[in-house]
Structure formats: C-alpha cells, structure tokens
Chain A
Amino acid sequence: MNPGIFTYLSSGLFLGWSLGANDAANIFGTAVGTRMVRFATAALIASIFVILGAVISGAGASHTLGKLGAINTQPGAFMAALAAALSVYLMTERGLPVSTSQAIVGGIIGWNIFMGQPTDPGIVSKFAFAWVASPVMAGIMSAVLFALARVLLRRVKIHLLRLDHYTRWGLILVGAFGAYSLGANNIANVMGVFLNVSPFRDLQLGPVTLSSAQQLFLLGGMAIAVGIYTYSERVMMTVGQDIVRLTPVAALVVVLAQSLVLFLFASQSLAAWLAAHHLPHLPLVPVSSSQAVVGAVIGLGLITPGERIRWDIVRNISIGWLLTPTVAALISVVGMFVLQNVFNLPVRP
C-alpha cells in the first residue's frame, strides 16, 4: 500500500475528527454537561459504538452518496472531502448553521461539475427529502415518546430517586445506540467519497471478513473517536449549560428520537425488510444529527403548553440546507481546478 494514500485520506480523517468533536455532544451533551454521566464514560461508550456503527452498518448511506457522484481518483476524493471540511469550518466561524452531511454533498456535486457530468436529480431529491424529513421526524418522534413517557410516569408513580437511577442508565444505553446510529449514518460523510479509491483489500480475521470499505470505515470511526476524546468535552459542557434546560427524562427522549432518526436513515436491513413487505422505506442518506436534535427539542416544545416554535432557528436551518452544499460545491470545483492545474495532480481519471 502506498503510504501517500494517507495524505489523500487526511481530509476525510479531518472531517471525522470534526464530526467526533461536535456531534458526540448531540448524544451525550446534556448528560455530560449536567454531570449525569461522566465524560470518561461517555467518551468510551461513544467511541466504541461509533466505530461499531460505522463498520457494521455504514454501507447503506455511503452507497447512496456514491450514487450521487462516484469519485474515482484519490486527488478528487481528497478535494471533495477537503471542500466539505473547509465549508464546515468557514460557516462555523461565521456562526452559520452547518452540517457535514450537507457539506459533503456539495463537495461531490463540485466533482460532478468539474468533470462536466450531470448530477442525478432523483438522487438529489432523496437527499433534499431526507434533510427536511429528518428534523421533522425527530420532532414527531420526541413529541410522541415524551407524551407516552408522561402518561406512563403519571400512571406508574415511580419514586423520583428510582426514576433518576433508571434515567441515568437510560442515558448511557440510549447514548450507546445514538453513537452506533451516528457512526452508521455519518461515516458516509467522512469516508464515503474514498470508497472507489480505497487502498485496502478485504481482510480475513478468523471468522470475520473486513471488506475494503469496512476498513476505511474503521479508520474513519477511529478519527471520530479521536475527535470525541480530544475536543468534544468542551462542546458537551457548552451544550449542557447553554441550551434549553431539559428535565432528565426529556433529555433521554431527545437523544432517543435523534438516534432513531439517524438509524432509520442508515439501516439497510430495516429498509430491506420494509421493501420486502411492500412498505414505504426511507432513503439511506447521511443526515444531520444536530438538526435532528433541534427538531426533537422543537417537538417537545410543541406538546408543552406555553412554548412556541422559534422560527428563527427553523429559518437558519433552512438556509443551511441550501447554503452549505453551494459553498462546498464552489470550493470543491475551484479546489479541483487548482489541484489539476497548479499542482499537476491527476484529478481526472
């Protein structure tokens, strides 16, 4: 294997680091920020389950991303991921809402433009549907789950200490599921563009075979884990202290709703099962965990008397849906042009 490949993979690994640094807080932010779960526990669980989710269930969303534009040169893949990372950085710097999922789509569309090949509008519509549907679904799920929890808790009249004890364990278990779903859904953002240029060969480890894609996902998962360990603690503390004060049960519901949405947009077996039973199934597309969280919190607000939707937040998210891919696509096209013409790299196959 050419060690130079890691230079090309570096942009994806950086995206992975950034994902771990920021998005782990969507899963464990409230729990760690309010000291319900220790950071060391949260980081260990999140890292293990992100990697498992990425390696075991990461193929679905990555496959759809591949259909958007199959990048088949290493410099091209490098630039697409770098464009996504740079647009995430630039927009975050300006305080604009941003999602890696939307940025990487821009990076790939940039590749299509650079190559002069059309982008399949059918696939683009799948992404557009998923981005709008994911926060809406998270909102509906959190409202339903919270209403159920409320009815149940008022009926069962569980002792407050016991409820907190269970909630704490619930936050750890749901956090593990959330991390798994995050890995499964979002590894596509990190490593999806490198699938066609993977330097790995299938690896036999006893009874387990790790495909070339799975090895890429393992590497990406490890980058996410590094992001979690090195940077996510301060993000979690901010999330826990700055955002709306949620009761522990509400926090649990928000994480669960968000995790279910990410899982639904990632699980190939669930999609296959639904298809086999002639039921409508969701496209397997990387979606934004941050936007799912916002949707879930809005959902809680809707069933809480006296709360109103903050339309400014909804508007900002909508702006992000259009602005992020556009910015990333622009950077991607310009970047590929520069790589080809200034650095003489073989961006075209």
Chain B
Amino acid sequence: MRAYNGLTMKLPSLFGGTRGLEAQIDLYFDKVQEAGLVFGRAMEIYLNRGVSGEFEELVRRVTAVEEEADDLRREIETQMTTHTLIPELREDVLSLIEQVDEVTNHYEAAVYSFYVQKPQIDEAYRDDFAELARMAQQTAEEMVTAARAFFRDLSAVRDHVKKVQFYESEADRITTRVGRQIYESTMDLARKMHLSSFLERLDSIADTAEDIGDKLSILTIKRMV
C-alpha cells in the first residue's frame, strides 16, 4: 500500500470542503519534484560513471515515482469529477495535471534512453550535458512551484513563470551551442545525430515545463480576483 492511500480515503463531502483533494494535489506535485531530483542525480551519475549499479537503481526509482504520480493523477481526476467544484475550474485543473504529467514522463523517458542506448559522451561535452540536465530540471522545478502558487497564491505565479521562461531559454541556448559544436566536430554523422537526439530529449523537459508555465499564466489571468 502506498503512503498516500490514507489521504485518498478522505473523500471530500458536501460540507467537508476540499481538504482531501488539496492534499492529493500537493502530494502529486511532491512526486513530480521527487522525480526531478532523482532524474538530476541519475544524470550526474551517468555523466560521471556511465551505467552503474547506482544509476540503475536511480532509473528504477524514477519509474517508481512516475508510477506513483500516475496513480495519484488518476485518483485526483476521479475525485475532481465527482466533487462539487465549479466546472470551469475543474476542467482547467484536470488539463493542468495532465500536462504536468508529461514532465514526469519526460524524466522517465530520458533516464531510460540513457540506460538503454548508453550514449558515449566525450569529456569535452560532459559539463554541457550536465548543465543542460540541471537547467531542464530547474525549469520543471520552477514550473511546479508556479503550479503550487496557482492554487495558493495567484499573485506569485507570474514571478515563478518568469523564472521558468529564463531557465528554459538557458536550456535552449545550451542545446543550440552544444548541438553546433557536435555537428562541427569530426565525429561520424551517426554519432552526431545520436548525441544531438539526447540534447533534444533533455531540452524537451524544459520545453514542456515552459508550455505549462504559459498555460498557468493564462489560467491565472482568468482567475485573478
């Protein structure tokens, strides 16, 4: 039995408010953040030591956290549809949660592709890959903070979305710079394409987080009192 099952039992009643659902949404964002932290650590280990026992363990953990987040998401979706909420907000929250779920999917897909394909990253590019992975994770981390603020403090969303945009453009900048360096190098084309596909995979985490940031900006304007 998972740790959050105790909370799922607390169905929000007519007069009981929405506390159970609020706690579940918080817990869901905890899981997304946890997946990001595990992803960051896994990338660090891979870039330093390649596929090792420790890396494999972290890959398993990302998968486990992603599954837990999925279960929570489904539970939230079920509760949202039965809850006495204003339909427009319900639809907005459901689509937000769905979109955030893509970020955890990206984390999982990224570590798995490193685990399966074991790309050879030369010493010259390791720091850049590490920096890109950090920027991607930071973009997603800031997006989660913005999403939490959407529920509790609408006036703070804008500040966090600004940071999301900043980190995402940094990630883009690294991806472009390193991509050019790779294609200008003497590596054979297959390896160039292989490596740049990993750059794009890491960058897609930041891109997805930025899309969610944009969505949060619109949702916030709609709800701003």
Contacts and interface: CB of A to CB of B under 8 A. Distances in A.
Contact of B223 (A36, A160, A168): A160
B150 A34 contact: no
A132 to B, nearest CB: 30
Nearest to B18: A161
Contacts of B84: 165, 168
Contact of B17 (A150, A160, A165): A165
A154 interface: yes
A250 interface: yes
Interface in B209-225: 222-225
Give chain B's interface residue range (CB within 8 Å of chain A).
Answer: 20 to 34
A204 interface: no
Interface in A135-161: 146, 149-150, 153-154, 157, 159-161
B47 interface: no
Interface string B1-35: 00000000000000001110110010000000000
Contact of B150 (A160, A247, A249): A160
A267 B86 CA distance: 33
A202 B82 CA distance: 49
A250 B225 contact: yes
Contacts of B125: none
Contacts, number: 57
A165 B150 CA distance: 16
B150 A162 contact: no
Contacts of B151: 159-161
A152 to B, nearest CB: 9
A120 interface: no
Contacts of B64: none
Contacts of A167: 86
B127 to A, nearest CB: 41
B149 to A, nearest CB: 10
A165 B152 CA distance: 14
B222 A159 contact: no
Interface string B154-166: 1100000000000
Contacts of A250: 225
B107 to A, nearest CB: 26
Main secondary structure of the interface of A (DSSP, over half): helix
Given A36-B86, A36-B87, A167-B86, A161 B225 contact: no
A250 B86 CA distance: 14
Contacts of A149: 225
B182 to A, nearest CB: 44
A35 interface: yes
Contact of A160 (B19, B87, B152, B155): B152
Given A36-B87, A162-B18, A168-B85, A247 B222 contact: yes
A159 B225 contact: no
Given A160-B223, A161-B18, A34 B85 contact: no
Determine which residue in B85, B87, B150 has the highest number of CB atoms from chain A within 10 A of its CB, and name it: B85
20 contacts: A34-B86, A34-B88, A146-B225, A153-B225, A157-B152, A159-B152, A160-B150, A160-B152, A161-B18, A161-B93, A162-B17, A162-B18, A164-B85, A165-B17, A165-B84, A168-B85, A247-B223, A247-B225, A249-B225, A250-B225
Interface of B: 17-19, 21-22, 25, 84-89, 93, 150-155, 222-225
Interface of A: 34-36, 146, 149-150, 153-154, 157, 159-162, 164-165, 167-168, 247-250
